[in-house]
Amino acid sequence: MPLISTTKDLADFCARLSTESFVTVDTEFMREKTYWPKLCLIQLAGTTEAHCVDPLAPDIDMAPLFALMANESVLKVFHAARQDLEIFLHESGHLPKPIFDTQVAAMVCGFGDSVGYETLVAKLAKARIDKSMRFTDWARRPLNDRQLVYAAGDVTHLRVVYERLAETLAANGRTAWLDQEMAILTDPAHYRVEPEDAWMRIKARSRSARFLALLQELAAWRERTAQERDLPRNRVMRDEGLLEIAASAPTTPDALSQLRSVSKGMAEGTMGLGILEAVRLAQAIPEKALPHPPDREDLPQGLGPVVDLLKVLLKMKCEEAGVAQKLVANMNDLERIAADDNADVLAMEGWRRALFGEDALRLKHGHLAIALTADGQGLRVIPLSN
């Protein structure tokens, strides 16, 4: 299989694909040593041809590919699209549109939670995936034919998987369900990492507002440094180090170097200057502007059994409809519904509300009951009078 490594060949291939109703897409990337994913290979297939594209080739211009990804007359089909979409957003500044994610579609069609590509290929395309090249170093050149054939399999089998899932969605009237999910996936806000919000991902025991201000500034410093140097966050500093600095709030290089997480060289270098500036900024924040920890949503007394009943109802509804439970609601959603009829959760919106949310409220307010079937082998929902 020839590897596309020139701008002309890429432009010609993308021109042919632009006449297709859909193309299947996959990427291979490395991220172990970088903040941003390093794009190493792109696989593309139309209905009759498939090629791998080498983004690491000297002087290749990826503009034809990005134009194809932006062409809204061509559907882009991915499996587990999120990381691929993040790469395209970083590389081109735009997300591909429109898209079809076969993993999400499979969850809508009853294949379970986060179903793998290999499973779908086996069930829908009646083919097997060669696993031997799974751990290839895709950044190393040259790539051999076996590697390229393996990589291309991620988009050639995907054609059949897409067609079967699209047929199923149309037959069961759930195409609109998937459209709602794709609208979420193609919202750029889901891929932006704002340095000022990075502290929220760190588990901190202290709920002191000043401590959280220090953690916020330190996490923002780490995020910006990681982005600028293209390093993983933990290569800049681990979470434990940020928590230690936030707790001690050092103001001098000497005080900073006394901490277990900071070497003397770091404390006295540019990294140390950045850390101390973050501490200074946090200490200068007025009391009224300090961040506050997220409110703890403790479950009101006595609602535990209600959550258990909602969990049973969710399982029943999803099994009956052939939809993955994970796609409809999680335990946090159930707890919030138990506590509040107007809970701001996806389970109470759109198709999820029709499938589960409305009956969840009816069950909660005594208008539905769950009982064993007459043979004792299953459960059924019984409407109750108001």
Please identify every residue annotated as catalytic: 26, 28, 84, 150, 154
For helices 304-321 and 331-339, the axis angle rounded to 10 degrees is: 120
Q: Give per-residue burial for 164-198: e unless 16+ CB within 10 Å, then b.
A: bbbebbeeeebeebbeebbeebbeeeebeeebeeb
Q: Which residues on neighbouring strands pair with residue 382, listed in sequence order?
A: 369
Q: Which residues on neighbouring strands pair with residue 50, listed in sequence order?
A: 45
Spell out the residues 6+ positions from residue 213 whose beta carbon is closer than 8 angstroms to its own.
Answer: 282, 285, 290, 291
Q: What is the DSSP letter of 36?
A: S
Looking up tokens 């898209």, which residue turns up? Answer: 99
- CB 76 within 8 Å of CB 98: yes
- Strand segments, DSSP code E, in 19-131 are 22-30, 38-45, 50-53, 75-78, 99-101
Candidates 302, 76, 321, 68; CA nearest to 185 is: 76
Angle at 349 between CA 344 and CA 352, to 5 degrees: 120
Kindly report the backbone phi and psi dihedral angles of residue 72, in degrees, each rounded to the nearest multiple of 5, phi listed first.
Answer: -80, -5
Q: Is the dihedral of CA 361, 365, 368, 369 positive or negative?
A: positive
- CB 53 within 8 Å of CB 45: no
Candidates 222, 243, 224; CA nearest to 234 is: 222
Kindly report the backbone phi and psi dihedral angles of residue 12, in degrees, each rounded to the nearest multiple of 5, phi listed first.
Answer: -65, -45
**Residue 64 identity (one-letter amino acid):** P
Report the length, in residues, of the chain. Answer: 386
